[in-house]
Amino acid sequence: MRRWTLLGALALAFGVLVGVAAASTPGADVKLTHDATDPGYVSSYTIATGTPYTDATLAECSRSRGRQNEPAVAVDPRNTKVILGSSNDYCGVYNTNDADNHPIPVGPIWLGYYRSEDSGKNFTSSLVPGYPDDTSPYGRIAKRQVRTASAGDPVIAWDAQGRAFFGSESSDDPAGTPKTFGDVWVATYDNPNGPTGDPQNDGKRYRQTVVVKRGSSAPNLLGIFNDKTTIEADHNSDGRCDNNVYFSWSRFSGNRGGVGIYFSRSTDHGATFTTPVKVSQTISDVQFPDIAVTGNSNIYLVFRSFDSGRGHEGNEFYYVRSTDCGRTFTRPIFLQDFIENDAQDMADPEEAPTQSQPDDPAGEEEPEAEGNARDCGDFDAHCESGFTFFRRDTQPRATADQFDTANPNRFFVVYDATKPGTEAPTGSTYGTIESGEGSQAAIFFLRVNGMNGSKFGPTLIDDEETGHQIFPDISADNPDQASRGTLHTIWWDSRNDACYSVTRPIGNCENRSTVPSLDAWGATSSNFGGSWTPTRVSNFTSNPNYEQFSDRTVPFAGDYLYVSSVNDFSYGVWTDWRNTVQGDDPREAGEEDEDGATADVLQCRVFEDGAWSGDRCPRLGGIDQNIYGDYTP
């Protein structure tokens, strides 16, 4: 028996987009990830030197219409024309075909390098050197340190001399074994003409990659695995800690349990990093570190704890302080408690159809087999509620104005948590506080004096009655006018979700279908967060619940958005699904499909010898997830 299924051809032929288009401010959305011959990807080596170079991964990235998520962005503090972006970039996954010329998922998931030299109007798309088949001169330099098959969780920071630092978590064995590694490293780009060179060339030349800490070679995340990175550089040129680079992450201890926050610094422009130190002390379960450098070059590192039962702490935020350029830190200082808004359900796995070949690389996260589930979809990712949704957790993001010497220990925090008074039973196993109890997610703001612990807030940035607000970020750098109080934020907002309810996941209707539901929103404050002016940023409302991962069974939106600013110039980036082509999953034919194919994507499969093939048309738009950016208020 042989059956070929090609679904969604009409939508593809006529360019049908499922979403809501509307005006937004302040500008037009710009695509950072040109993985569809528009115009394609260019080697970092070629960008810097002009010398042509390509390989199978770059060729695939130039046609793939693949997935990108978890974006980062950083505006050059010396020149706002230069903006660098990144993401988890899956563009090279199908860089090899099998004997029958069908694409197979053996290529890398890697760190993107997206460069604009016109203040974000246009971007050139590339990859950070070191991916498995990178044989360029830059690739050979990177592989002196990089040993893994994939890289992600990008974070970016600039120093004051035209250097850009890309931090990453990297994992998976290129030899194909179950070893997960879980290394963290930092790649450095500089100005080829040095610190006094034309700042239009800042962050253009790749220099090196340095592994800050290796994970263990144990299989299946059972050893030490480093993840959830953050990076910052001291760029205020006050003479104390000039151009130091600070890097932090969460260290997971596998079957030993517990998570710790670790920190390392570089005092030689990213050439070397110090031995990592644990800064979360005895707090058992912590994640989501973020670094802020204040006007006197002190360092404040903020993180979240979880109510796991392994320690005394609950759902709370803490910070640690360093007054000696990152040599030493205080013990954790309590900052704020909150009511979490963590999407969750009860796993209810159903038998997955036999498949002769996977759709995705072996290193992708697998859905939970039992108990609590953070995301839900089809087959083994099915949950009791029948809803389809992406994972999300309450997390803090921190920043400070490095040029504000009048408030030398002031830093700012935003986070997404439950708005008190919106709690309600969901009538299902889905919840945000716990299974069966939901609530509205809102963005909260804190202004903190890190030396004495006094604070303003928490206050709501945009007290909107409808919609969830998630994944915030905040930026504050005012080199031209210290102490001016300008702050910029970004977040995802579902106020345009036609099926919004605190009892259901984002973009889910009562009948379990999914709809376009997410926009990027932003806000600015000119008085240190005392008041805010919110604005819609994206001009297209898209559906975040397309099942594009784990063999087309579950959605994944990433874990954050990003904003970066210099004075009044601010630029934000987000993951977007406006280019995704919807379709039917042929494996669900004759079975109950609770989302009514509204979360399914275009895919092509053959059924023969009692099994389904892998998706044979991954380049036709079913997994076309992109990074977009725009000026933010």
Q: What is the secondary structure of 165-201 as a DSSP string?
A: EEEEEEE--TT--SB---EEEEEEEE-TT-TTS-GGG
- Say how far apart CA 168 and CA 362 lie, in whole Å: 19
pLDDT computed for residue 20 by the predictor: 58
- Bridge partner residues of 333 (DSSP): 319
Q: Which residue has the higher pLDDT, 227 or 7?
A: 227
Give 565-593 pLDDT, tens digit per residue. Answer: 999 999 999 999 999 999 999 999 877 78
163-167 average pLDDT score: 98
pLDDT computed for residue 7 by the predictor: 33
CA dihedral 316, 468, 88, 157 (to 10 degrees): -60
> In this structure, which amino acid lies at residue 364?
E
* Phi, psi torsion values for 447, nearest 5 degrees: -110, 125
- Bridge partner residues of 166 (DSSP): 156, 187
CATH code of the domain in which 364 resides: 2.120.10.10
Tell me the pLDDT band of 3, cut-offs 50, 70 and 90: very low
Element spanning 49, H or E: helix 44-49
- Say how far apart CA 448 and CA 352 lie, in whole Å: 50
pLDDT computed for residue 375 by the predictor: 96
Residue 346 pLDDT greater than 90, yes or no: yes
pLDDT computed for residue 177 by the predictor: 87
- Say how far apart CA 360 and CA 559 lie, in whole Å: 20
The DSSP line for 542-582 is B-TT---BTTTTB----S--EEEEETTEEEEEEEE-TTPPB
Give 255-302 pLDDT, tens digit per residue. Answer: 666 799 999 999 999 999 999 999 999 898 899 999 999 999 999 999
Element spanning 9, H or E: helix 9-13
DSSP assignment letter at 615: P
CA-based R_g, the chain, Å = 23
Q: Is 405 left (phi over 0), alpha (psi -120 to 50) or beta?
A: alpha
pLDDT computed for residue 21 by the predictor: 61
| Residues in contact with 305: Cβ distance below 8 Å, sequence separation at least 6, in sequence order | 283, 284, 285, 286, 311, 313, 314, 315, 316, 317, 318
pLDDT computed for residue 222 by the predictor: 73
Residue 475 pLDDT greater than 80, yes or no: yes
Least confident of 16-20, 52-56, 524-528, 603-607: 16-20
- Say how far apart CA 157 and CA 564 lie, in whole Å: 10
How much of the chain exceeds pLDDT 70, in percent? 93
Tell me the pLDDT band of 515, cut-offs 50, 70 and 90: very high
Tell me the pLDDT band of 19, cut-offs 50, 70 and 90: low
pLDDT computed for residue 24 by the predictor: 63
pLDDT computed for residue 23 by the predictor: 54
- Say how far apart CA 353 and CA 593 lie, in whole Å: 14
Element spanning 250, H or E: strand 245-252
Q: Which residue has the higher pLDDT, 415 or 484?
A: 415
| Residues in contact with 42: Cβ distance below 8 Å, sequence separation at least 6, in sequence order | 58, 124, 125, 126
Q: For residue 18, give the 3-state DSSP assignment.
A: coil
| Domain range for 483 | 3-631
Q: Which residue has the tokens 């703001």?
A: 445
Report yes or no: 615 and 605 within 8 Å, Cβ to Cβ.
yes
DSSP assignment letter at 232: E
- Say how far apart CA 570 and CA 564 lie, in whole Å: 6
pLDDT computed for residue 150 by the predictor: 96
- Say how far apart CA 380 and CA 368 lie, in whole Å: 8
User: HEC string of 290-313?
Assistant: EEEECCCCCEEEEEEECCCCCCCC
Q: Is 123 left (phi over 0), alpha (psi -120 to 50) or beta?
A: beta
Question: Domain count of the chain?
Answer: 1
Q: Which residue has the higher pLDDT, 27 or 221?
A: 27
| Residues in contact with 525: Cβ distance below 8 Å, sequence separation at least 6, in sequence order | 485, 486, 487, 531, 532, 533
Question: Could you tell me the CA-to-CA distances from 273 to 133, 187, 270, 324, 468 in Å, in that order?
Answer: 27, 12, 7, 16, 40
The DSSP line for 398-423 is EE--TT-TTSTTEEEEEEEEEPTT--
- What is the pTM assigned to this prediction? 0.95
621-625 average pLDDT score: 98
Tell me the pLDDT band of 11, cut-offs 50, 70 and 90: very low
Euclidean distance between the first and final Cα of the chain, in Å? Answer: 58
Tell me the pLDDT band of 367, cut-offs 50, 70 and 90: very low
Residue 223 pLDDT greater than 90, yes or no: no
pLDDT computed for residue 407 by the predictor: 94
* Phi, psi torsion values for 139, nearest 5 degrees: -60, -40
Residue 364 pLDDT greater than 80, yes or no: no
> In this structure, which amino acid lies at residue 557?
A
DSSP assignment letter at 68: E
| Residues in contact with 207: Cβ distance below 8 Å, sequence separation at least 6, in sequence order | 141, 188, 189, 190, 270
Nearest to 169 by CA among 278, 250, 284: 250
Least confident of 177-181, 520-524, 543-547: 177-181
Report yes or no: 367 and 556 within 8 Å, Cβ to Cβ.
no
Residue 233 pLDDT greater than 60, yes or no: yes
